[in-house]
């Protein structure tokens, strides 16, 4: 009994020290616009970067985010039909030598982004870089000719921290740690009447 009590009291402070408050994450605010025969998405994300992720960035480890959009057509007789599925990858890194933050945004996989088109932006501080990560502007998600007239459509939006792009030892270290989990999602009906 004495050993069990000693073990309990010895482990309890360690367990309390390991609990880290989670960062507040809100639902993304989605806005749809129709022009140039296309449907465009703008989103404002609401999350704070956890301290462990910020610490990894300051040590020179790039962090990858993924934004995904699915345009679906509602069907009463079967599962919803996926019309369009798109992905946007964001790579945030810190360069200690220049003390600058760099954000790379590409439409393809991160491995492919070196050969394809990517938008590169530099920032003086982390807050300005995170403001750019949290704001998705004018992303063309559908051509109106691909939309079925008269049907009900909705958009599923997901944003997450891509842990598979981290260095392998860090991937193993993030298992079971909730502070490495950043996931936001939203689902919204959208009027895609092409006759207007």
Question: pLDDT tens across 166-186, in order?
Answer: 877 777 766 667 777 888 999
Residue 6 covered by a domain: no
116 contacts: CB under 8 Å, gap ≥ 6: 106, 107, 108
pLDDT for position 110: 58
Contact 5, 136 (CB under 8 A): no
Residue ranges making up the domain that contains 52: 30-190
Residue 14 covered by a domain: no
Contact 118, 110 (CB under 8 A): no
Provide, rounded to the nearest whole percent, the portion of the chain with pLDDT above 70: 77
pLDDT for position 150: 80
Residue 35 covered by a domain: yes
Residue 2 covered by a domain: no
Residue 16 covered by a domain: no
Residue 136 covered by a domain: yes
Task: Summarize the confidence of residues 144-158 as an average pLDDT.
Answer: 86
Q: Say if residue 103's pLDDT is above 90.
A: yes
Contact 193, 149 (CB under 8 A): yes
Question: pLDDT tens across 42-61, in order?
Answer: 999 999 999 999 999 999 99
**How many domains does the chain divide into?**
1
Separation CA 54–CA 75 (nearest Å): 43
Residue 9 CA to its chain's centroid (Å): 40
Handedness of CA 163, 168, 173, 176 (dihedral sign): positive
- pTM beyond 0.85: no
Residue 18 covered by a domain: no
């Amino acid at each position: 009994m004495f050993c069990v009590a000693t073990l309990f009291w010895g482990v309890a402070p360690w367990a309390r020290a390991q609990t880290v408050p989670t960062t507040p994450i809100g639902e993304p605010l989605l806005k749809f616009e129709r022009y140039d025969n296309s449907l465009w998405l703008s989103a404002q994300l609401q999350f704070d970067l956890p301290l462990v992720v910020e610490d990894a960035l300051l040590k020179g480890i790039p962090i990858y985010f993924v934004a995904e959009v699915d345009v679906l057509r509602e069907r009463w007789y079967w599962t919803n039909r996926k019309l369009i599925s798109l992905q946007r990858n964001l790579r945030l890194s810190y360069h200690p030598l220049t003390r600058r933050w760099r954000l790379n945004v590409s439409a393809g996989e991160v491995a492919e982004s070196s050969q394809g088109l990517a938008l590169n932006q530099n920032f003086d501080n982390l807050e300005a870089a995170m403001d750019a990560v949290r704001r998705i502007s004018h992303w063309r998600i559908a051509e109106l000719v691909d939309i079925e007239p008269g049907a009900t459509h909705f958009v599923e939006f997901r944003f997450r921290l891509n842990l598979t792009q981290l260095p392998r030892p860090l991937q193993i270290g993030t298992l079971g740690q909730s502070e490495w989990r950043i996931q936001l999602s939203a689902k919204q009906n959208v009027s895609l009447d092409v006759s207007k």
